[in-house]
Chain A
């Protein structure tokens, strides 16, 4: 699976959009981009995934660049409860394993 690079930490004011970047320049055509988050040492929680189109669900939006070498997770109106470590993961279509890096620690402040 392709390697991902994320900033170690970010801050965001409550109510504002949080934009979390991820670089996956070696991604191949059959690899998906997944995002998970981990709130305060709980088990990780799935957020969203995509292949090449932008995706949106009730939690977030995922923007993938046209060349698929990077992506951005957007939390449109961040709340204090969104404070967590966010992991960007690239997974092969048939792969059953997720490789977690160190992620981005998002701190949402008042």
Chain B
């Protein structure tokens, strides 16, 4: 099992450029999440998905779009990158929350710099 993988690992963008970050999981998880982490801060939820074809906004959704066309993939798009979007982006996946145990599995992160 590869778990949660993220592509690319690093990227440098110029202001105004667009890009898509790909997250893939092979654990058959229903739920997937995108977070961003700025230096010295905890993770903040951008968008999440509770199943194929569904997405929802998290705490900091502005400037990002997402799509979940396949259960195993969750894409994060930046249409017009801004320096404020310089951050490390983490993807995670999980089973639906239920009674008791609930764990999010995280990918290794994508380090994005916008100049």
Given contacts A96-B50, A97-B58, contact A44 B97 (CB under 8 A): no
Range of interface residues on chain A?
Answer: 20 to 34
Task: Count A-B contacts at CB 8 Å.
Answer: 56
Could you say which residues of chain A place their CB within 8 Å of the CB of B109?
41-43
Could you say which residues of chain B place their CB within 8 Å of the CB of A87?
42
B103: Cβ under 8 A from any A Cβ = yes
Q: A42 to B90, alpha carbons, bound, how many Å?
A: 9
Q: For residues 62 through 96 of chain A, which have their beta carbon under 8 Å from a beta carbon of chain B?
A: 87, 91, 93-96
Q: For residues 42 through 71 of chain B, which have their beta carbon under 8 Å from a beta carbon of chain A?
A: 42-45, 48, 50, 58
Task: Please give me the 3 A-B residue pairs with the lowest Cβ-Cβ distance, nearest first.
Answer: A43-B106, A100-B42, A100-B43
A residues lining the B interface (CB < 8 Å): 32, 34, 41-46, 49, 87, 91, 93-103
